[in-house]
Chain A
């Protein structure tokens, strides 16, 4: 098949062109309006880490991604992770700009050589993760990351998930660009990890973060035993070109081995190999097949074991946390969520959370801060707050009564997908009216803007008989029916605003729309003729 062999030369270019559509579509969905919510729902919903944190092990996406890694290697990282692919593009841009990494030479550093001679793929460091496999550190330290995130999920220390989750890092980076586009006050610091990673990727070979990614490392455990993967076949002369191009430094050309746990199937090596010896297929030298396992030292086995334990903690963390949350929703206080959900920034006890967040407790536990809801909100009232999580701010608009878009796109289930009837009754906050500030009071003139927009008639206009002016009406507010949508606040013309909103610790159901009032209306003329 000479033709197919020739294809290999273009394998990497072809792949990059195809998969670049993933971050491109993500960015488009984040930057454009609500009409791209379908794309956003599909892309965010396919993210491994978000599905794991939000829905736990039983989620279909989680099972599919783990199984695919177990058989075909890290195809998810190769084809679906927007952060990974974006880093790769940044790395390519760096190469195009002539950036050469220090120590990027065919001979490699001393540490690289020592790593390369190790018999175990888990030990074979190529310098991507400096602490890894140097021989004298007893644990593969980088696996501390999935361990921490896993423990973070179990013990509800959500900042750990928030700051190490790849989709959240990516989402917050794009949210900054979005804020610039829509002339909103950008929360710069929440996007810093994204840009730091991009810069690192630019100056290294790309895929910088993949060596630290809790999801990627965990998937790597599965891909390390996968029957399919990249291998260097007989005929390879160890020229080192593949090693030079590898974006994750997982190729050891001298020993003709590829560390499948770190390989993200970027296929740079396939394209780089002049003799087409680096190829994707059944791996000839999988550790389990060639008897190397028995030759491993105790230390190597221990490291390998601890890596698996760390990965499993990460995987089970979500499952356990989800189970606990289901059976004892208020059993433990969320230790990290409060940090994100304090309403101090807005002068209230709690921020106003998107409809379907259930409670500050639930939201803090599940939201990773990917800000897909910010991108999905058609009227842009969901905004990232200074602590990186989304909350509702009603300065320009208000939460639309019939809209449940944020719950549809949320990939972690932090915002439940409410039915429209349920949405109509879900109280996300509570308004209050200070009539002394109302223009009807201060100016003695008709207004009614609040009652006009109030979807549940919690605010209604009643005759303002005290004023003595005929036909003048004043607003009356009934807290019982208020859903906290902020419509009254958003439209109130009074300065200072006659309405004030506050968040609630748990979203509850209101009785619905307030029954109509039949008093205070003029009698209708007879129905059978014109009254004039």
Chain B
């Protein structure tokens, strides 16, 4: 009798526990079900980068759709230039801080920020304002100024066969590319895919082995899980450094998408390019990293 009693009680407890967890798993299931109902691309305009991000990420399903509790998140903003936020060469510090907060709220175990800067790293970190904004929002800065932080990994791309990639990029569970939209003298535009060049130590091989192919090939090594394009102040000419106020156009926009090809295509259109005109975006689309035909995508356009 005692044994039967025990079994009964255990069974009851088991069912109880199951019931306790059911709502959560049901919620998960429902989310999976209506993933299709979320837009593929959210485009916001008419606010500060922070408010546009808050609004946009809500529309695309919230940050917890992309970041799960306990995961390691790597944010790759552009903070390559010894230039102040007014110069628009780097991602807005406020946007990076907002993304950090959303990731931590979603339960990320840690949020790491890195960029292999082009100008002297210390000045770039300091003057871009991104380092201070991200770390005060709770992110960790991963140093990137010496070769020791990078590991040589096979990429097996069309042209990029191997690359020295930052260890934080290789370790992370979630990779988020947060570029600033700008013109680029060599690559045509610098958006989410080009931004990931800052994860690599031996950048020079990109230039010698075909810049456009290598930018697309990097996605073979690691495709970002989310891209957020800062198109608040945009360098439309003489990029990627810019330098004179006449190069900068205030577009007050922000794009969010999981599809790196779609977001790059949309952003390049904001600079007046036609889809397929930028070679590395076209190559990435051909390699199957995303969709270039925006007419087939579910795009949510928000005006604040």
**A455 CA to B244 CA in the complex, in Å?**
11
Query: Taking CB as reference atom, which chain A residue is nearest B302?
Result: A530
Asked whether A531 and B243 contact (CB < 8 A) given A439-B207, A446-B211, the answer is no
Q: Does B217 contact A (CB under 8 A)?
A: no
Question: Which of A507-532 touch B at CB < 8 Å?
Answer: 513, 515-518, 521-525, 527, 530-532
Q: Does A255 contact B (CB under 8 A)?
A: no
Q: B299–A532 contact, CB under 8 A?
A: yes
Q: A494–B208 contact, CB under 8 A?
A: yes
Question: Which of A478-522 touch B at CB < 8 Å?
Answer: 491, 493-495, 513, 515-518, 521-522
**CB neighbours of B210 from chain A (8 A):** 443, 445-446
**A493 CA to B184 CA in the complex, in Å?**
17
Asked whether A516 and B237 contact (CB < 8 A) given A448-B186, A521-B272, the answer is yes
**A31 CA to B185 CA in the complex, in Å?**
38
**CB neighbours of A288 from chain B (8 A):** none
Question: Which of B87-127 touch A at CB < 8 Å?
Answer: 118-120, 122-123, 127
Q: A401–B82 contact, CB under 8 A?
A: yes
Shortest C-beta distance, A321 to chain B (Å), equals: 35
Q: A452–B271 contact, CB under 8 A?
A: no
Shortest C-beta distance, B98 to chain A (Å), equals: 21
**A368 CA to B180 CA in the complex, in Å?**
46
Asked whether A403 and B123 contact (CB < 8 A) given A447-B186, A494-B208, the answer is yes
Among B9-17, B28-36, B273-281, the one that faces the other chain is B273-281
Question: Which of B254-291 touch A at CB < 8 Å?
Answer: 265-266, 269-273, 277-279
Q: A451–B185 contact, CB under 8 A?
A: yes
**A491 CA to B197 CA in the complex, in Å?**
14
**CB neighbours of B301 from chain A (8 A):** 530
**Contact with A516, one of B204, B208, B247, B266 (Cβ below 8 angstroms):** B247
**CB neighbours of A513 from chain B (8 A):** 243-244
Asked whether A530 and B270 contact (CB < 8 A) given A460-B238, A517-B237, A524-B249, the answer is yes
Shortest C-beta distance, B234 to chain A (Å), equals: 9
Interface centre among A455, A527, A532 (most CB of B within 10 A): A532
**A408 CA to B122 CA in the complex, in Å?**
18
Q: A401–B279 contact, CB under 8 A?
A: no
Q: What mask results when residues 399 to 416 of chain A are scored 1 for a CB within 8 Å of chain B, else 0?
A: 011110000000000000
Asked whether A525 and B269 contact (CB < 8 A) given A461-B185, A471-B278, the answer is yes
Query: Taking CB as reference atom, which chain B residue is nearest A475?
Result: B185
Q: A522–B186 contact, CB under 8 A?
A: no
**A461 CA to B240 CA in the complex, in Å?**
11
Q: B211–A447 contact, CB under 8 A?
A: yes
**A312 CA to B145 CA in the complex, in Å?**
50
Q: B208–A522 contact, CB under 8 A?
A: no
**CB neighbours of A389 from chain B (8 A):** none
Q: Does B298 contact A (CB under 8 A)?
A: no
Q: B185–A448 contact, CB under 8 A?
A: yes
**Contact with B273, one of A439, A495, A522 (Cβ below 8 angstroms):** A522
Q: Does B131 contact A (CB under 8 A)?
A: no
Q: What mask results when residues 191 to 218 of chain B are scored 1 for a CB within 8 Å of chain A, else 0?
A: 0000000000001111110111100000
Number of interface residues of B (CB under 8 A): 50
**A451 CA to B118 CA in the complex, in Å?**
13
Shortest C-beta distance, A462 to chain B (Å), equals: 9
Q: B271–A522 contact, CB under 8 A?
A: yes
**CB neighbours of A495 from chain B (8 A):** 208
Q: B271–A524 contact, CB under 8 A?
A: yes
**CB neighbours of B187 from chain A (8 A):** 446, 448
**Contact with A521, one of B122, B127, B203, B237 (Cβ below 8 angstroms):** B237
Q: B207–A493 contact, CB under 8 A?
A: yes
Shortest C-beta distance, B302 to chain A (Å), equals: 10
Query: Taking CB as reference atom, which chain B residue is nearest A456?
Result: B243
Question: Which of A419-447 touch B at CB < 8 Å?
Answer: 439, 443, 445-447
Q: Does B253 contact A (CB under 8 A)?
A: yes
Query: Taking CB as reference atom, which chain A residue is nearest B43?
Result: A530
Question: Which of A453-475 touch B at CB < 8 Å?
Answer: 453-455, 457, 460-461, 470-471, 473
Q: A446–B241 contact, CB under 8 A?
A: no
Shortest C-beta distance, B251 to chain A (Å), equals: 7
**A449 CA to B204 CA in the complex, in Å?**
8
Q: Does A379 contact B (CB under 8 A)?
A: yes
Q: B186–A452 contact, CB under 8 A?
A: yes
Q: Does A34 contact B (CB under 8 A)?
A: yes
**A278 CA to B212 CA in the complex, in Å?**
79
Shortest C-beta distance, B193 to chain A (Å), equals: 14
Query: Taking CB as reference atom, which chain A residue is nearest B297?
Result: A532
Q: B204–A532 contact, CB under 8 A?
A: no
Q: A532–B269 contact, CB under 8 A?
A: yes
Q: A532–B241 contact, CB under 8 A?
A: no
**Contact with B294, one of A445, A461, A532 (Cβ below 8 angstroms):** A532
Shortest C-beta distance, B212 to chain A (Å), equals: 5
Q: Does B72 contact A (CB under 8 A)?
A: no
**CB neighbours of B243 from chain A (8 A):** 455, 457, 513, 516
Asked whether A448 and B211 contact (CB < 8 A) given A378-B120, A513-B244, A530-B45, the answer is yes
Shortest C-beta distance, B124 to chain A (Å), equals: 10
Q: Does B188 contact A (CB under 8 A)?
A: yes
Q: A516–B246 contact, CB under 8 A?
A: yes
Shortest C-beta distance, A373 to chain B (Å), equals: 16
Interface centre among A449, A491, A495 (most CB of B within 10 A): A449
Q: B279–A471 contact, CB under 8 A?
A: yes
**A104 CA to B116 CA in the complex, in Å?**
60
**CB neighbours of A493 from chain B (8 A):** 204-208
**A521 CA to B240 CA in the complex, in Å?**
14
Question: Which of B211-232 touch A at CB < 8 Å?
Answer: 211-213
Known: A445-B213, A455-B243, A532-B266. 10 other contacts (CB 8 A): A400-B120, A402-B127, A448-B207, A452-B118, A452-B240, A473-B185, A491-B204, A516-B246, A521-B236, A524-B270
Interface residues of B (CB under 8 A from A): 43, 45, 82, 118-120, 122-123, 127, 183-188, 203-208, 210-213, 236-238, 240-241, 243-244, 246-247, 249, 251, 253, 265-266, 269-273, 277-279, 294, 299, 301
A sample of 18 inter-chain contacts (CB < 8 A) reads: A378-B122, A400-B82, A401-B82, A402-B119, A443-B210, A446-B187, A446-B188, A448-B185, A449-B203, A452-B241, A457-B243, A473-B186, A513-B244, A516-B237, A516-B238, A516-B246, A516-B247, A525-B272
